[in-house]
Structure 1
């Protein structure tokens, strides 16, 4: 076990709002052992940025980790050549060129269709009414799993997320994760004959054409489902909420003084939908006078790194004019999120301009509070909005 100072965390409070505790850790114990998580937590941006690239010590390969046990051995839990070979196989489906030339138009079609169903005057939970189906329909298209309902894509994604973040050993979360993996496997099996006969640019189509072993294909499709639904879903809802809560910044974007991409990048820094990434210590190591032993579990807290006062002035404030180049919302090093370009296109290039162009007088509903939750994965739980006549 590491010699890091022990810091106890109230997990209920941490889930509701992790930022006060993360700020305390950055100040008092940048590397701390949290017994409630059974892991040593890294909270400073520079420590995470450097250590994440040191894969010989901070290994993504975790044979007994939750992700391997629940989803299969995917590229996120591999290092070196094993990681890069699978990343290269996936790249043609989600490269910046493919996203721009092939997927963005399909994202726009999904957005336009969903906006049309909302009507000129309405009041809905925007998380469920737009962000959730938009993200899921886009992910169905990218993965090639067009044979499932968007409701299944969302629930199975959440089941995977709950399973791989189930550090407290909740049997209900484990059961939901198993149900999700079974559903995704069945969807893959159903689509395989079509995509083997007629390959396309979807993730499943590209991986089948690459000759990757089927168990690795399944694991990597599940990886795409787990991260590819919640991050864009939560970013769409969250950026809308952030802009409506900061009307002066929305006015800047609508006046052409700031871009939708600036909005997205600042929201990804401010909230960090993917707030944590785990590692395993591959060999003894010492950092900040903390001794780490082989097989110690490490949690890199991206949600803390992106509010590190050393790099971000007034870090708790949403400000689309700030410099976000030091943000590590998508990670760093060899495990930089492969879906980053698709996510940026979905949110900044398609969803945000479509929403604010199409829904006149879009506003928050005052009689229902917006709720936010999570620390490993963080996002809005609801977003009551109205538009049209007041």
Structure 2
């Protein structure tokens, strides 16, 4: 029995092929052809937000986008829907050809989607076919967060990371995975952390690219060089780059009207973060490509999830423990590994993370990549996940604290 169910019959997943009506694509094309854009910013940088030329380039790429090709890629991966706690949740389920592969749950964030993991599915599920070892094989479960992608949009309050974690636990039970690993970044890290916290007997390993651990006031008194850099970067982000979260965390319905009615509004709101949160240095790959950004724009637009995904911030900000002390009162006992990418706007020092993740077994700081490693550096993310779960599998558990 699922420890989070009411003891009744478990729900069943059903195949969920995607087919957007042609009329919706025609409506999008018509809107893209008659957009009204403002004048250019009055500064020579991005301090006022996404620059006019950047948005114009993104919109031009969207005009040329082939949604049917994206749709075919989505449908080429085993795609299902299941009702969990009264809500339809869409997910990919990719079983490895290796029978005893480890189950692994991958959870995305905002402004991402399940498409963040598209390029890593093959190497993680069938490593032998991609030059790896069968020991590194995973059965993969990739759900869309409530109100994202082809998951349903909640019609009632309460779908926060905690409720989602409980739903994910039920999903894994339905699929026959009593023990499993969990990976996530952004809100995916929040859901995965909460899942590991509430079900430590089930989550055999936790891999994060954005561990949820904040500095304490005393950390600012004695920071080393790396911690000082992390503090400076976090403070700058909160002061200059976090207005979007305040807007969605307080008035998601207000911004939602623009995200649902204007392709330019949606492109600016999401595209600004795809640019700001990525490692855009040409020498290391250039960040999130235009094609990848447009895939996400089209997915958000055609599923009508601009408002419902924004509402996730409103829900989470009323659920998430606030402040470092509150976080540390929510310790995680599951064995944990972290991969830190340099352009992520939420850097975390290992010392902060160790206070919350009490069995932190691997800490790796990379030299390239940002907030969207599955899009920016998929090979590196595959290597990091493989290496993390080798450690989490092979090392003995830490002594209880």
TM-score bracket for this pair, using the shorter chain length? under 0.3
How does the TM-score come out when normalised to structure 2? Answer: 0.23
Q: Which has the higher helix share?
A: 1
Higher relative contact order (CA 8 A, sep 6+): 1
